[in-house]
Amino acid sequence: MAGGGVTDIVAELREILAEATGRTELAGVGEQVPLFGAGVGLDSLTGTLLLREVHRRFGVDVAGEDLNLDALATLGTLAAFIAEHTA
Amino acid sequence: MMIKCVIWDLDNTMLSGVYLESVPEPPPPDPAMVAAAAELAGRGIIHAIASRNPPEAAQYAEKATGLDFAAIECGWDRKSDAVRRIVADLCVAPDAVAFVDDDLYERAEVSFRVPEALVLSPEDMADAVGWPEFSPPVVTAEARRRGEMYAERRLRQEEARAFGGSRDEFLRYCGTEVSIGVAAPADVPRLHELSMRTHQFNSAGRSLTEAELSALTSSATHRVAAVRLRDRFGDDGLVGGCVIEAAGDGWTVPLLMMSCRATGRGVIEALLAWLARSAAEAGAVTLSVPCLAGPRNVPLRLALAGSGFRAAEGGTPDEPVVTFSRALDGPLPELPDWASAA
């Protein structure tokens, strides 16, 4: 998938993230902000909602393919992972 | 399979009439159904409503029956969709759910689309109270209060939706208190129950008997920790625990578990931070959690990843048990301010 594809995926992930966390300000979160820890504060509840929605919309089972969930480092890494697995 | 949740229709099932057609007064509750539901609540089985009615019908039923409902789905879409939403919201397995409805069509629709669920008519339900599926062998104090705790959870969630800030701010606003301490012999029945009932947050994917847990609490080489949770909405009691094995310069956690009712309330990260800090204090250099990594315990893997744990080299999704570990020589996670070590 081309670079434009990843940008589109990031935009869609921002929406999903804002929805899963109930925090609308996350609709503008940077592509390289860590999802775990202070920045976004992804936890097991919001993380599960995010992964479920990614599976539903993109057909990519991140947890099934990435044991360490490294794809969840940032929205950028998650988008790249999705692009790679839908290519 | 043990039933954990009963989902009730209202019209001509929990109520002895049709809510929208009864004027001027709504129909009274059906005494046989209320008695059955109250008996099951005493055994730790929770209740939910799936009704083709406006939300006021559920509010009325809650008041008129005096029962606690963990989830309420009122609307005009398919009953099977309502059942699916309740199953997802309460994180119970579909085969741990019973659905009670007087309407043959609704029962057939739910049976067809949620084949795992136990589908019953009100007549069946009156009888089913005596069935083994509805008779858990152990009923702990937490189990008896479960219905109430789920009703409190509903209120907490309603407030969380209206709350503007972050999750941590909400936890502080709720006066969340997580306390972690050494398990006492009196905690063993509840820890055993947790080991059987937890799936999303169960590292080993297995349960421990009361005898095994008792032996571990008095073992020289093991420790068993118990985690309690409460806030101003209510006291959830013992919601989690873990078994710790200290050997050489490492701590291993053969079982880590938490009730999924405690999800999103800062419990699992508090427990993982406490484990890392306690292990480091005791001189350990690594902390390991062997996990039966499957689709069901993804929430636990998310918590482990968020707390700096890494899967061992060679771990693949095909390899059932994978050890997640973290080094303890670098910066350690802070115990969240809502958590304390008892």
CATH assignment at residue B83: 3.40.50.1000
Q: Is A22 on the interface with B (CB under 8 A)?
A: yes
pLDDT at A4 over 70: no
Question: Nearest 5°: CA angle at B296, between B37 and A31?
Answer: 120
pLDDT for position B303: 94
CA dist A35 → A22, B134, B143, B265 (Å) = 15, 42, 35, 18
Residue B170: inside a domain = yes
**pLDDT tens digits, residue range B22-76?**
988 999 999 999 999 999 999 999 999 999 999 999 999 999 999 999 999 999 9
pLDDT at B320 over 90: no
Residue B246: inside a domain = yes
pLDDT at B296 over 90: no
Radius of gyration of chain B (CA): 22
pLDDT for position A2: 46
Residue B207 parent element (H or E): none
Contact of A40 with B302, CB cutoff 8 Å: no
Does B322 lie in the same domain as B214? yes
Does B98 lie in the same domain as B55? yes
Side-chain half-sphere of B165: how many Cα atoms within 13 Å? 8
Q: Is B311 on the interface with A (CB under 8 A)?
A: yes
Tell me if A47 and B300 make a contact (CB, 8 A cut-off): no
pLDDT at B204 over 70: yes
Contact of B10 with B48, CB cutoff 8 Å: no
CATH number assigned to the domain comprising residue B244: 3.40.630.30
| B227 closest CA partner among B214, B238, B235, B213 | B238
Residue B310 parent element (H or E): strand B310-311
Does B188 lie in the same domain as B45? no
Helix B104-113 crosses helix B79-90 at what angle (to 10 degrees)? 50
Say what the ipTM of the complex is: 0.90
Which one of B90, B119, B136 terminates a domain?
A: B136
Residue B90: inside a domain = yes
Contact of B286 with B253, CB cutoff 8 Å: no
Does B184 lie in the same domain as B132? no
Q: Is B256 on the interface with A (CB under 8 A)?
A: no
Other beta carbons within 10 Å of B45: 25
Does B200 lie in the same domain as B116? no
Domain around B228: 166-341
Does B326 lie in the same domain as B188? yes
pLDDT tier, B313 (very low <50, low <70, confident <90, very high otherwise): low
Residue B295: inside a domain = yes
Percent of chain B at pLDDT exceeding 90: 82
Residue B145: inside a domain = no
Alpha-carbon distance of A71 to A73, in angstroms, equals 6
> How many domains is chain B partitioned into structurally?
2
| B52 closest CA partner among B111, B90, B12 | B12
Does B217 lie in the same domain as B294? yes
Q: Quickly list DSSP for B41-80.
A: HHTT-EEEEEESS-HHHHHHHHHHH----SEEEESSS-HH
H-state helical runs in chain B: 31-42, 55-65, 79-90, 104-113, 122-128, 141-144, 146-162, 167-173, 188-197, 210-217, 267-281, 298-306
Does B129 lie in the same domain as B91? yes
Tokens of B50: 């799936």
Q: Whose structure tokens read 């009196």?
A: B186
Tell me if A72 and B298 make a contact (CB, 8 A cut-off): no
Number of H helices, E strands in chain B: 12, 13
Does B179 lie in the same domain as B317? yes
Tokens of B338: 């809502």
| Window 174-233 of B, Cβ < 8 Å to A | 201
Residue B147: inside a domain = no
Which one of B136, B153, B184 terminates a domain?
A: B136
Kindly report the nearest CA distance between residue B33 and chain A, in angstroms.
34
pTM (two decimals): 0.86
CA dist B235 → B88, B153, B175, B227, B239 (Å) = 23, 10, 11, 12, 10
Residue B30: inside a domain = yes
Does B308 lie in the same domain as B210? yes
Residue B114: inside a domain = yes
Q: Which domains does chain A have, with CATH numbers?
A: 3-24+33-86 (1.10.1200)
- For chain B, report the end-to-end CA distance as a whole number of angstroms: 36
Does B316 lie in the same domain as B178? yes
| B306 closest CA partner among A50, A7, A4, A5 | A50
Does B217 lie in the same domain as B120? no
Tell me if B299 and A22 make a contact (CB, 8 A cut-off): no
Alpha-carbon distance of A17 to A20, in angstroms, equals 5
Beta bridge partners of B243: B224, B255
Interface test with A, best of B87, B291, B298 (most A CBs within 10 A): B298
Percent of chain B at pLDDT exceeding 70: 98
pLDDT at A1 over 60: no
Tokens of B231: 């806030």
Which one of B136, B157, B183 terminates a domain?
A: B136
